[in-house]
Amino acid sequence: MDEKINKSSVLDTDDGNILVLVNRNNLISRSYIPVGMVSVQGTERLIKREVHIAYLKMKADALAENLDFYIDSAYRSYSAQERLFISYGGVNGQKRCAPPGTSEHHTGLAVDILALSTKKGLYKCFFQTPEYRWLCDNCADYGFIIRYPYGKTHITGYDWEPWHFRYVGKEAAAEITKRSITLEEYLNCV
Ligand SMILES: [Zn+2]
């Protein structure tokens, strides 16, 4: 599928921009390697160092209110995206799974968070948990946004994903949340 992609819209290198836009129109290449990656709390999952620091602070503050959650998915390499895409049925399943090169999980700035109050791996029920409500109210204070909000599919290209959080830094997160907009709208890319 690489031949069909307009190379001018493909980002090859990580310049450290935490507002980097990755979607179905703004792709990153197979060779894109995010810099400054660390392990999430000693697991095999990887995210950027500043995202990890913000996440740990957010987690500690939630824990102080007896709410706990974990990162179920973080960095995904291009080949991991390919495997996932194929497992969802390839082109036929692309409404449910991002084609390789279009996943912001590749940037090290996106995480899928799930609650520890439910059975592990429960994505469908996450939006009904107190952890989700707490994150909706508070994640912007730590620099995160809900990247694929309900009712914004026509802009983001993705269905509502309450578990998918994107680190954009506190300033952008505050404005995006206050105005109930998407990263695309914040960057004037729609
Ligand atoms: Zn995700």
Lowest mean pLDDT among 15-29, 48-62, 109-123: 109-123
**Mean predicted lDDT score pLDDT of the chain:** 92
Q: Which two tokens stand for residue 3?
A: 């031949």
Distance of CA 91 from the midpoint of ligand 1 (Å): 19
pLDDT in tens, 66-89: 999 999 999 999 999 999 889 988
Distance of CA 121 from the midpoint of ligand 1 (Å): 13
pLDDT in tens, 32-49: 999 999 999 899 999 999
CATH number at residue 145: 3.30.1380.10
Q: Which amino acid is at 141?
A: D
Distance of CA 65 from the midpoint of ligand 1 (Å): 25
Q: What is the pTM of this model?
A: 0.92
* CA neighbor of 110 nearest in space, from 79, 138, 148, 78: 148
Q: Which two tokens stand for residue 4?
A: 């069909």
Residue 50 among the catalytic residues: no
Distance of CA 18 from the midpoint of ligand 1 (Å): 16
Q: Which of 65, 104, 131, 161 is catalytic?
A: 161
* CA neighbor of 76 nearest in space, from 49, 54, 98: 98
Residue 12 has pLDDT above 90, yes or no: yes
Q: What is residue 155's DSSP assignment? A: H
Residue 4 has pLDDT above 60, yes or no: no
Q: How far apart are CA 174 and CA 43, in angstroms?
A: 30
Residue 121 has pLDDT above 90, yes or no: no
Higher pLDDT, 6 or 39: 39
Q: Which two tokens stand for residue 172?
A: 């952008």
Whole domain around residue 153: which residue ranges?
2-186
Q: Number of folded domains in the chain?
A: 1
